[in-house]
Amino acid sequence: MATPKDFGFTEDISMLKDTFAKFLSEQKTIENLRPSLKGTEDPYHGDQRSAFYDTQSWQQTVELGIHAVSIPEDQGGIGMGLVAATAIAEEIGRYALATPLTNTLLATFLLRAIDSPEGNALLEAMAGGTRVGIALYGEDASLEGDSTDVRVEDGKLQGQSWYVTDAQKSEILIVAAESAEGVDLYRVDCQSANVRVLDDRIVDLTRDQARIQFDGAEAQALTTGGRGLLSFQKALPALLTLTAADIAGAAEWQLQTTAEYAKVRSQFDRPIGFFQAVKHPIVDMMITADETRSLVYQAAAAFDFEPEDAARCAHLAKSSASDTAEFCANRSTQLHGGIGFTWEADVQIYHKRQMHSQFLFGDGIWQRAKLAELL
């Protein structure tokens, strides 16, 4: 099936995106986040940072149905594709939203790839507002999908999952575990007595990260016969695209905020935007952000309409996005001068989020290596 005009970005998707953007503009996302960060300025020596998300905002998101945008209608969702979910992910990044919604979108496409009765039941629970996260990696952080340090013994899970993003915001985890037949995916209740969430200290102020320890944890198989790895690989283009969309949204905020600052900050009796040393980097930010956004929607459209090209387009999008995350974060902070790196500035919140997003599901170097294998 050929990709339709405008990457399949329909009027309904545009309306959904605008509705979510208007909703977020009224939420004061950064202002609500800041009180939870007090005393945690230093991620290594400060207080332990508890995971924050606005529970009321999340409940309103569920009521609006935003969380269920790509959950199939048979499981109680809206039934839209990746293009619609990508539009939502872009707004999450634009507002640096601390939310379970990111994991919800990622888990949706992983469960759609699993396509089992157990997976569909979990999709139904998610449509009702259950917060689901994904725990896929071992300590070596291999991005090939087979690096798990969790094993199945007598139907229960033993071992540890590493680098689990937003674990504290999740009620249920989809866990990759090694069995005699290979890697499979399992549903685990985070509140189980045999599940421990061990928080990591990270610089990203809008997310949390944890190591999950399983000591005979009860688990429900979502895949069998070692098909978990295949499901992960099938879903990976969507996971890459959604992460790249988050970066694109944040980069757009960094661009607009820096451009506005350059109009009002004066030096030598002129706005600093007058000087080429400021003007040109801002133009470069615009070019990189636009390139990434274009590749992101191309990848989303390929996933929805030309799945045979989805992997290539997704690696292209995340490769561009990872580089854009670093470039726009650095330029935004530098061009804000003496205030850009301070704790009081919103710029540093976006900078740290972009640095985290840059490496999620692989940085630009890894993405280009995977692209080379596809060519």
- The residues spanned by each domain of the chain are 5-101, 134-227, 229-374
Half-sphere exposure of 284 (CA within 13 A, CB side): 17
Per-residue tokens: 235: 């879903």
pLDDT digits (tens, 9 = 90+) for 159-218: 999 999 999 999 999 999 998 899 999 999 999 989 999 999 899 999 999 999 999 999
Domain 134-227 has CATH 2.40.110.10: yes
Per-residue confidence (pLDDT) for residue 274, from 0 to 100: 67
With beta carbons less than 8 A apart as the criterion, state whether 341 and 370 touch: no
pLDDT of 1 higher than 70: no
Q: Please check whether the two domains, 134-227 and 229-374, share a CATH topology.
A: no
Phi, psi torsion values for 348, nearest 5 degrees: -70, -25
Residue 289 has a CB neighbour count (10 Å cut-off) of 25
How far apart CA 292 and CA 363 sit, in angstroms, is 14
Within 8 A by CB and 6+ apart from 319, the residues are: 364, 367, 368, 371
Q: Looking at the chain, which runs of residues are DSSP E strands? A: 132-135, 149-153, 156-165, 172-179, 182-189, 195-199, 209-218, 220-221, 266-267, 270-271
pLDDT digits (tens, 9 = 90+) for 8-45: 999 999 999 999 999 999 998 999 998 888 888 777 77
Task: Over range 225-231, report the average pLDDT.
Answer: 94
**3-state SS assignment for residue 52:** coil
Domain 229-374 has CATH 2.40.110.10: no
Q: 364: pLDDT confidence band, cut at 50, 70 and 90? A: very high
> Under CATH, which architecture does the 5-101 domain have?
Orthogonal Bundle (1.10)
Q: Calculate helix-pair angle for 346-359, 310-335, nearest 10 degrees.
A: 150
Phi, psi torsion values for 120, nearest 5 degrees: -65, -35
Per-residue confidence (pLDDT) for residue 343, from 0 to 100: 84
pLDDT digits (tens, 9 = 90+) for 271-304: 777 678 888 999 999 999 999 999 999 999 999 9
The letter for the amino acid at 300 is A
pLDDT of 120 higher than 70: yes
Half-sphere exposure of 185 (CA within 13 A, CB side): 30
Task: Over range 142-158, report the average pLDDT.
Answer: 90
Closest CA relative to residue 237, chosen from 301, 281, 141, 303: 303
